[in-house]
Amino acid sequence: MSKAVAITGAARGIGLATARVLKAKGATVVIGDIDEAAVTEAAEELGVTGLVVDVTSRASFTAFLDRAEEAAGPLDVVINNAGIMPIGPVTGESDADARRCLDINVHGVMLGTKLALGRMLPRGRGHVINIASLAGLTYMPGLALYNASKAAVVAFTEATRLEVQERGVHVSAVLPTFTNTELVSGMRNPKGQRNCEPEDIAAAVVALVGRPRPQAVIPAKLARQVKIGALLPERVKRAMARRYGLDRIFLDFDADARKAYDARIRA
């Protein structure tokens, strides 16, 4: 795979796993993250270029893409992966958390997409991949802020895809379910469900790079279930949420186990 790829939020989790797999496939990978120490360590481990990037800043994001192209050549793929997940009762979410979540999860993706398209459209080729979430299609108590941010990413990505689809550039959304990263610290698994691993999401992203399509749900079997679920009566949806524990999973969590993650995303 002789492609030049830049990935944000890639010092850990899904971003790091994706960088590792793409590198193994032969891509030239540049990773970015706001955490300088973590991205430097990750880059040294992988043997790739690691750069600091604040996805909420146009100047920082532009500099990241400039330096990525200096290191890897014209970018074939930009993966907007950076994101945060504050959870808990909607009345307990601070205004600062709300602004930061939307700045990173929504405006960061929008900014990264626009900057990438500014480079790719004149060339008539390229692929923007936005890491959304099934939370953009399925809504749960205690997840209102994250749900809103990921729903925005899904809508923005699809509208942008339709806008540029005849100009040689692909735009795709990736919608993972619960994945074993820091985002789910202190939370129980939904009853009867096995969480995905970051490597599962990475494999889906690599498949998208090789064969672009509008959207990838992980695991794939959930795509049909989500579509059917949207048609169910409200009382059935509520009963199913109770059965699988989804009505409380983002409200009854171990706050101590999430302290380190919460402190990091608010730093």
In terms of C-beta distances under 8 Å and separation of at least 24 residues, what long-range contacts does 252-260 make, across chains too? 252/188, 253/87, 253/88, 253/186, 253/187, 253/188, 254/186, 254/187, 255/186, 256/186, 257/185, 257/186, 258/87, 258/185, 258/186, 258/187, 260/182, 260/185
Stretch (H or E) spanning 29: strand 28-33
C-alpha–C-alpha distance, residues 200 and 194, integer Å: 12
Backbone angles phi, psi at 183, to 5 degrees: -60, -25
Of the residues 139, 146, 244, 261, only one is catalytic, namely 146
Active site residue 261: no
> Which three-class secondary structure state does DSSP give residue 4?
strand
Phi, psi of 214 (to 5 degrees): -65, -35
Neighbours of 44 (CB within 10 A): 10
Residues known to be catalytic: 146
